[in-house]
């Protein structure tokens, strides 16, 4: 059994990484959370019930590890290490590519501003494609809570994306374009 679970665990790594990133907003911290969660899961394989969903079990462990890390950081503030922006290679040959990248950065920043509960639901339902019921089971909350958190997250994102940024006019509305 342990060998099969380990193979499934490896197959789940990309989804688990995305989920951890959605909770932390930082790829570096997501990797640390994921590593701790995998260590915890492997040390407790005997607690995994065969026939149940490994992904739900792992998402619960990831969320638990994240909560523990937040609690620990509140009790013991980190030194004043500046946030190091993750660098990505980007080929900005055209104006459209640059604009698209800026739009994606804005969306990512707005997602990271959402409360953790909303980010988690958004990641499970929209990125991982879970049903509301699967997300509810994974997070241990009622399906109505999933629906309301997702609706609030989507509303906040829509409002934030349509709001003009400082120094920018924002995208013109339909009435502004026709007048």
- pLDDT tens for the chain, 179 residues long, are 556 778 888 899 999 998 898 888 888 999 999 999 999 998 998 888 888 888 889 998 998 898 888 777 776 654 444 443 333 333 344 555 556 666 677 777 888 889 989 999 998 998 888 899 999 998 999 999 999 999 999 999 888 777 554 444 444 444 444 44
Identify whether residues 110 and 159 lie together within a single domain: yes
Asked whether 57 and 41 are in contact (CB, 8 A), the reply is yes
Which residue range(s) make up the domain with 56?
A: 2-75
Cα-to-chain-centroid distance, residue 140: 17
Contacts for 30 with CB less than 8 Å, ≥ 6 apart: 17, 20, 21, 23, 24
Task: For residue 87, tell me if it sits in a domain.
Answer: no
Distance separating the N- and C-terminal Cα atoms of the chain:
67
The pTM score is 0.54
> Which of 47, 75, 103 is the last residue in one of the domains?
75
């Amino acid at each position: 059994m342990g060998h099969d679970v380990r193979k499934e665990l490896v197959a789940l790594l990309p989804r688990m990484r995305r989920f951890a990133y959605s909770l932390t907003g930082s790829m570096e911290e997501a990797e640390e959370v994921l590593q701790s969660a995998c260590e915890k899961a492997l040390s407790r394989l005997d607690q995994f019930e065969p026939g149940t969903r490994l992904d739900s079990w792992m998402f619960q462990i990831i969320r638990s590890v994240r909560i523990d890390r937040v609690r620990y950081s509140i009790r013991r503030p980190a030194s004043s290490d500046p946030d190091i922006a993750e660098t990505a290679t980007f080929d900005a040959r055209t104006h459209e590519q640059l604009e698209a990248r800026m739009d994606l950065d804005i969306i990512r920043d707005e997602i990271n501003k959402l409360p953790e509960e909303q980010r988690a639901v958004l990641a499970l339902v929209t990125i991982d494609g879970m049903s509301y019921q699967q997300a509810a089971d994974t997070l241990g909350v009622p399906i109505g809570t999933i629906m309301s958190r997702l609706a609030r997250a989507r509303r906040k994102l829509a409002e934030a994306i349509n709001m003009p940024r400082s120094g920018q006019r924002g995208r013109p509305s339909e009435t502004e374009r026709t007048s």
